[in-house]
Amino acid sequence: MDFSVLEKNGLKDMLSKTAVDIFLPDGIFYWSGRAKKEAEINGTIGSARGRTSHFLEDADDTVRTFYLPSVIEALRKLDPEQIAPYAPIAGAPAFRKAWRKWVINKLSPHYDFDADLICTPIVVPGATPGIAYLSRMFLSPGDTLLCHDRHWENYELMYEDCQGLKIDTVPLFSGGGMDVGAFAAKVKSMAASGNNVVTVLNFPNNPSGYMPTIREGEELRSALVKVADEIAGKIILIFDDAYEGYVFEEDVAPVSIFGHFVGAHPDIVAIKCDGATKEFLLYGGRVAAVTFAHHPDWGDKDAVFAALENKMKAFIRGSISNCNRAAQEAVAAALEDEYIVARERQTINDVLADRYRALKTAIGNADMKGCVPDPFNSGFFCSLNVNVPAEELADKLLGEYRVGVIPIVNSKLGINAVRIAFCSVESEMIEEMVDRISKAVADFWT
Ligand SMILES: Cc1ncc(COP(=O)(O)O)c(C=O)c1O
């Protein structure tokens, strides 16, 4: 973006120091904007989309953003009293109660934990502000936040530009899976000076589409419990679970590995941030939740939850005041029948699983000229590491092959990849998309 207009007319002088420094990076918007106009196959859109008939019975083939019928139906049926009044700062009681039950029911088939240690979730307007408030809760400007080298590109804007934090990273992968040892070793080294270590863990991961296997989840728990025994400070694990439950392989943790850390160690503070935005495909509803796990050594659970909730409410009140009420009420109403919600989610998951399998097969069969995807097994995306300049490839793909992808380049981290959002490409188009990508790569070598 060119800001020279503000310099020429003198308006730049009116800006705060933050406003002078900050800007919205145009990377992802530039590529998705171009793809909208130029692409026949658009793999830039990070929301589940496709023909209505693919997720609704007796529907036509209009292409749209997928949704959960029970939630949309509940929205239609809302009483004005559920729409017009403010929601309480921590969220509508019906939603908070329903979401706590949902969280516990999601996790309990897969993890052994005491449900009493789970707080009543606090409502935030999306996972984005949820994880941003949490970093403000535990870190001051200049402090360091740890995340994986594969991370959502918005983390830089949220944490570095808006909050003045430093992001440190650790490789997500080693060989074909998660590098659990590297993460634990990094936490240990960051804690060496007695500091607390604050980390954000995002699985299924954007951009790689990776969820730890069941074994990796268990290994991470053991490794971090061991580190917690050895260090003086606390390990704060913020789980960015925006894409929770979109998992396509049997040996993969079906839901957030937060479940492993509930009550795991008095020096491990586990906090879950999940939401209706992606999980219930209600992106524009802007409803998500922050859920703390207690540890019995911290004393009176209710007092601890009340204190943490008060801090969160201060961040909410001091920024957005409170969240959209209608969306909370609709999700709460839909959750009165969790079975229906789960069934509707399964339908969407099946559609995405088809696309995932089509992509795996197509990449496996194509001559990718040495380009290799990151391990992927879940979520909305796949990240293809390419051996030609990723931005030039994305440009060629759009201009000559009419395929939209998002290039991801980070020379410091050695990342040169294109992100393919298979969540928005129908399975019948995936082989063709991969064929065009392999041809575009080949063009660079001939
Ligand atoms: C890893 C990750 N976390 C959070 C979000 C944002 O979620 P929400 O729409 O709930 O703010 C995204 C979305 O694009 C994401 O990729």
Quick one: 94 and 44 in the same domain?
A: no
204 touches ligand 1 (CB under 6 Å):
no
335 and 355 both lie in a single domain: no
- pLDDT at position 273: 98
At 95 the pLDDT is: 98
Length of the chain: 446
Count Cα neighbours of 337 within 13 Å in the Cβ-side half-sphere. Answer: 11
391 with 322, same domain?
no
Q: Which domain holds residue 189?
A: 80-339
pLDDT at 57: 92
* Contacting residues for 156 by C-beta, under 8 A, at least 6 apart: 25, 167
Question: 127 alpha carbon to ligand 1 midpoint, in Å?
Answer: 6
Q: Choose the final residue of a domain: 339, 361, 390.
A: 339
End position of a domain, from candidates 289, 316, 339:
339
Q: Amino acid identity, residue 21? A: D
Would you give per-residue pLDDT tens digits along the chain (446 residues)?
889 999 999 999 999 999 999 999 888 899 999 999 999 999 999 999 999 999 999 999 999 999 999 999 999 999 999 999 999 999 999 999 999 999 999 999 999 999 999 999 999 999 999 999 999 999 999 999 999 999 999 999 999 999 999 999 999 999 899 999 999 999 999 998 888 999 999 999 999 999 999 999 999 999 999 999 999 999 999 999 999 999 999 999 999 999 999 999 999 999 999 999 999 999 999 999 999 999 999 999 999 999 999 999 999 999 999 999 999 999 999 999 999 999 999 999 999 999 999 999 999 999 999 999 999 999 999 999 999 999 999 999 999 999 999 999 999 999 999 999 999 999 999 999 999 999 999 999 88
Take residue 428 and report the two structure tokens written for it.
């019948």
Instruction: State the residue for tokens 């079975």.
Output: 339
Check whether residue 303 and residue 407 sit in a common domain: no
Question: Using a 6 Å cutoff on CB, does residue 379 contact ligand 1?
Answer: no
- The answer to whether residues 219 and 271 belong to one domain is yes
The answer as to whether 241 is a domain residue is: yes
- Going from the Cα of 272 to the center of ligand 1, the distance in angstroms, rounded, reads 13
Indicate if 439 and 367 belong to the same structural domain.
yes
Nearest-10 Cα torsion for 387, 149, 261, 102: -70
H-only helix segments in 67-126: 69-76, 93-107
CA of residue 243 relative to chain centroid, distance: 5
Summary count for the chain: helices (H), strands (E): 15, 17
Predicted pLDDT of residue 219: 98
Q: Are residues 102 and 195 in the same domain?
A: yes
Q: Is 16 helix (H, G, I), strand (E, B) or coil?
A: coil
Residue spans of alpha helices (H) in 173-257: 180-190, 214-230
Residues 308 and 365 reside in one and the same domain:
no
- Cα 129 to Cα 93: distance, rounded to the nearest angstrom: 20
Number of domains into which the chain is organized? 2
Q: Give the residue from 275, 307, 339 where a domain finishes.
A: 339
Residue 385 CB–ligand 1 contact under 6 Å? no
Confidence (pLDDT) at 26: 81
Return the pLDDT at 436.
Answer: 98
For the chain, how long is the longest CA-to-CA vector? Answer: 68
Question: Which one-letter amino acid corresponds to residue 148?
Answer: H
pLDDT of residue 220: 98
Asked if residue 171 has a cis previous peptide bond (ω within 30° of 0), the answer is no
Q: Are 260 and 205 part of one and the same domain?
A: yes
Q: H or E segment at 342? A: helix 338-365
Residue among 287, 227, 233, 284 at smallest CA distance from 261: 227
**Cα–Cα distance between 417 and 397 in angstroms, integer?**
13
Task: Name the nearest CA neighbour of 273 among 130, 117, 422.
Answer: 130
Name beta bridge partners: 199.
Answer: 146, 237
Report the residue among 152, 273, 274 best suited for mutation to probe ligand 1: largest number of ligand atoms under 8 A from its CB.
152
Q: What distance in angstroms lies between residue 214's CA and the mean position of ligand 1's atoms?
A: 23
pLDDT at res. 420: 98
Please report the pLDDT score of residue 1 as a whole number: 85
pTM of the full structure: 0.97
The amino acid occupying position 426 is E
Helix or strand or coil: residue 404? strand
Under a CB-based contact definition with an 8 Å cutoff, are residues 393 and 407 in contact? yes
